[in-house]
């Protein structure tokens, strides 16, 4: 019995532990606005080849198969499920949901750069600017949009045009245009927390435009996009992952017991 059994089973336990972490994060964010669930991807490790496939026998006939023993598994990546979450009607004027692809563009005061989000829980700060509703950081919509203090109502149409109703006016006054961005590889965006993403070399450069143009989704005022986590599926994955972890731990125990038996035999 080779000690390799212990390392191979241990790699399986480590991989299942990472998958459990991913599932736990999905379940923890089941009520997070605009959250996209992740999945863990695996790949097998190197193989110890005892007999190479296709080796010729004594009659010079190539064999159909060889003898190879795998050395375990590892997590290769975590991929984001970009499918649309359910739109939940809130009736609040400053709540917007993205129906389709794309991200809202926001300015980060710390990095002085542009960040991206699917969460459309907007608010108005003390200066009258539209911001993402956050108690930690005041991130303005990019480009900035200012709402007059005497605005009686705010209207955001499907193509991102922001209009307000003011006292004595018979028509809505246009205050600005919400822009969105899309990426050739949204899975390559860097998750930085607080519902925010950052551009990376993997995601490619942003392609900004108005909602509803060039493949971008449209905005739905009075709605928020719910998390796309499916609780039943996550619970099934949780159970199967837990069982896989237990099986790998049993393989470690079995390998240890066999090695102990072999060691005891040598004493006699």
pLDDT of 267: 62
The predicted structure's pLDDT at residue 108: 87
Neighbour tally for 177: CB within 10 Å: 14
Give the pairing type, strands 113-117 and 47-51: unpaired
Closest residue by Cα to residue 178 from 201, 158, 197, 160? 160
What value does the mean pLDDT take over residues 171-200? 94
- Tell me the C-alpha distance between 268 and 264, whole Å: 7
Which residue(s) pair with 8 in the sheet? none
Per-residue pLDDT tens for 59-113? 888 878 888 888 999 999 999 999 999 999 999 999 999 999 999 999 988 877 8
Give the number of other CB atoms < 10 A from CB of residue 260: 11
| Adjacent-strand bridge partners of 177 | 161
pLDDT band of 147, cuts 50, 70, 90: very high
CA distances from 94 to 132, 144, 190, 251 (A): 10, 15, 26, 55
Cβ atoms of residues 133 and 122 within 8 Å: yes
């Amino acid at each position: 019995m080779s000690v390799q059994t212990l390392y191979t089973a241990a790699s399986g336990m480590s991989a299942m532990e990472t998958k459990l972490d991913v599932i736990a994060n999905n379940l923890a964010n089941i009520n997070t606005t605009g959250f996209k669930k992740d999945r863990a991807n695996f790949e097998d490790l190197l193989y110890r080849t005892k007999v190479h496939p296709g080796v010729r026998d004594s009659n010079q006939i190539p064999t159909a198969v060889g003898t190879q023993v795998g050395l375990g598994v590892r997590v290769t990546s975590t991929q984001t499920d970009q499918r649309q979450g359910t739109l939940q009607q809130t009736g609040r004027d400053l709540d917007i949901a993205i129906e389709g692809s794309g991200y809202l563009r926001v300015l980060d005061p710390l990095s002085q750069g542009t960040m991206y989000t699917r969460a459309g829980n907007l608010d108005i700060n003390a200066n009258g600017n539209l911001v993402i509703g956050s108690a930690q950081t005041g991130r303005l919509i990019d480009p900035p949009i200012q709402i007059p203090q005497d605005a009686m109502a705010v209207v955001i149409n499907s193509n991102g045009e922001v209009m307000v109703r003011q006292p004595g006016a018979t028509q809505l006054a246009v205050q600005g245009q919400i822009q969105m961005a899309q990426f050739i590889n949204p899975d390559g965006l860097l998750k930085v927390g607080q519902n925010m993403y950052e551009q990376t070399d993997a995601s490619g450069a942003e392609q900004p435009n108005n909602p509803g143009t060039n493949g971008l989704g449209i905005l739905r005022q009075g709605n928020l996009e719910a998390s796309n986590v499916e609780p039943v599926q996550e619970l099934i994955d949780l159970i199967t992952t837990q069982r896989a972890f237990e099986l790998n731990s049993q393989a470690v125990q079995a390998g240890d017991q066999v090695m102990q038996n072999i060691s005891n035999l040598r004493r006699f």
